[in-house]
């Protein structure tokens, strides 16, 4: 019984620490990153860069499909554990779990996990998970660039459109960020 309580206390403390990391208040480190992404990354074919209209200072890129059926949102994930200290084999999957827990903390009961965090087979390694929010699909890819962790969320904006047709645009955009 004591170990269960201790485990619960540790879990709650970790979630509270992670929730603090998700704050949208810019810090000095967020305002002056070591290796900022350049604005030279091209939008995938048929997508529009609407980053300037982003409401959050944490948003690095915000792309909208030309038919407005989906969006891509790129953010830097800043967990309390530095990305460089995570084991290479599990860092991406661990980052995916952290990202999902942050979303669970923010969205609560409005989120339903449809694919648990896993490693996306390929080179480079991506972490991936899928969830639904208000009946719309969300697919999150996580990747590392210069020891920083990024999440690229593909969001279905309308139920009428087939979500799977946008998966290649998500991978293409992630690869262009990595090559930049």
**pLDDT tens, residue by residue, 104-150:** 888 888 789 999 999 887 777 899 999 999 889 999 999 888 878 89
The tens digit of pLDDT for each residue in 25-70 reads 232 233 333 334 555 687 888 999 888 766 677 888 999 999 999 9
* Predicted pLDDT at 15: 38
**Residue-range domain boundaries for the chain:** 39-179
* Predicted pLDDT at 4: 42
Q: Which CATH number fits domain 39-179: 3.30.420, 1.20.120, 3.40.1000, 3.40.50?
A: 3.40.1000
| 128/178: higher pLDDT | 128
Distant-in-sequence contacts of 161-164, Cβ < 8 A, 24+ apart: 161/67, 161/69, 161/70, 163/70, 163/137, 163/139
pLDDT value at 180 more than 80: no
* Predicted pLDDT at 128: 95
* Predicted pLDDT at 13: 41
* Predicted pLDDT at 67: 92
């Amino acid at each position: 019984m004591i170990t269960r309580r201790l485990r619960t206390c540790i879990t709650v403390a970790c979630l509270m620490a992670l929730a603090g990391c998700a704050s949208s208040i810019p810090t000095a480190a967020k305002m002056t990153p070591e290796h900022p992404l350049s604005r030279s990354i091209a939008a995938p074919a048929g997508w529009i860069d609407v980053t300037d209209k982003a409401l959050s200072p944490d948003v690095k890129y915000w792309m909208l499909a030309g038919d407005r059926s989906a969006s891509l949102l790129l953010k830097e994930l800043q967990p309390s554990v530095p990305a460089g200290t995570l084991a290479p084999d599990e860092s991406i999957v661990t980052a995916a779990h952290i990202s999902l827990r942050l979303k669970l903390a923010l969205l609560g009961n409005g989120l339903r996990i449809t694919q648990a965090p896993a490693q996306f087979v390929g080179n480079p390694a991506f972490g991936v998970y899928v969830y639904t929010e208000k009946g719309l699909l969300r697919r999150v890819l996580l990747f590392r660039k210069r020891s920083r962790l990024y999440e690229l969320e593909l969001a279905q904006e309308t139920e009428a459109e087939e979500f799977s047709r946008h998966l290649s645009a998500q991978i293409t955009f992630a690869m262009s960020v990595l090559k930049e």
